[in-house]
Amino acid sequence: MLILAIDTSAVASAALVSDDAPESVLASFATEDTRTHAEVLAPGIDELLAEAGVSGRDVDAIVTGVGPGPFTGLRSGIVTARTFAFVWGKPLYGVMSLDAIALEVAESTDSAAEFIVATDARRKEVYWARYTLTDAQLPHLADGPHVGFAADLPDLPVYGAGAGMYSDVVKAVAEFSTRQPEALSLGQFALARLAAGEQLLDSSPLYLRESDAQVPGPRKRAL
C-alpha cells in the first residue's frame, strides 16, 4: 500500500510511505516555517512525486493530518489532500496530527508509559493529548486532543514543541522540545493502523476553538 500523507498542522510537510519500502519511507519533505504553507506545499508535493517517480495511478490512499493546529495553515493541507483524493479518485483518511509525535515517542529509546504530546496553539495556549504505551503496540490516545494553558496539563512528561515553549511549567522532554507533527510519521502511523485493521478518521478539521465571531448585541438606544 502506497500512501501520500500531508500535514500542515504546524509546519508544511508531505510524505510518500509504503509497506513495501524500507522503514516504509519512499520520500518526504518538511519545512521549518509555520507560515508559508500556501507557497511551499504544492511545489513540495510536486517534487516528492517526481523524485519518487510516483504518479496518481500508483497511490492507494491519501492521508491528511486533521489537526489540531492554527486554522489557516491546517486548512491548506486538508484542502490539498481532499483535492488530490478527488482528482485521483482515491480514498481519503484523516489522522489526528499529534499522533505523529506520539509515534516518534513510542519509537524512541526513553519513552514513558504515559505521556503528553503538546504543540503551539498560539494565544499562550497549547494543543495537547495524553497517550499510553504498551509493549510493541502503537501509542494509544487516552485523552484529547484539547486546547488549553500549559500550566494546566496533567503531571506527565510532555513531548513536542508545545513543551519546549513552556518548559518552565511542564516536564518538557528535551530531545523533543522543538518537535512538530510531520507527514512522514503521520503516514507511517496511518499505514500501521490500516495494516492492523483499525479505522482512521475522516478529513474533518479538529479546530477545537470556535471562530472568534461575536453576535452583535442590540444597539443601545439614545434614551
User: Which residues in this chain contact another protein in the complex, by CB under 8 A?
Assistant: 36-43, 45-46, 49, 56, 71-72, 75-84, 86-88, 205, 207, 211-216, 219, 221-223
H/E run at residue 93: strand 92-95
Instruction: In angstroms, give the least distance from the CB of 221 to another protein.
Output: 5
**Torsion sign, CA atoms 59, 62, 65, 70:** positive
Instruction: In angstroms, give the least distance from the CB of 169 to another protein.
Output: 29
- For 100, counting Cβ atoms within 10 Å of its Cβ (0-12 exposed, 13-18 middle, 19+ buried), the class is buried
45/121 with CB nearer another protein = 45
82/171 with CB nearer another protein = 82
Instruction: In angstroms, give the least distance from the CB of 79 to another protein.
Output: 5
22/216 with CB nearer another protein = 216
Instruction: In angstroms, give the least distance from the CB of 40 to another protein.
Output: 8
Q: From CA 77, how far away is CA 176, in angstroms rounded?
A: 23
20/221 with CB nearer another protein = 221
Rg (CA), the chain: 18
What DSSP designation does 113 have? S
Instruction: In angstroms, give the least distance from the CB of 87 to another protein.
Output: 4
34/111 with CB nearer another protein = 34
Cell numbers at 109, concatenated: 529509546
DSSP per-residue string spanning 147-202: EE-GGGS-SSEEESHHHHHTTTTSEE-GGGTT----HHHHHHHHHHHHHTT---B-
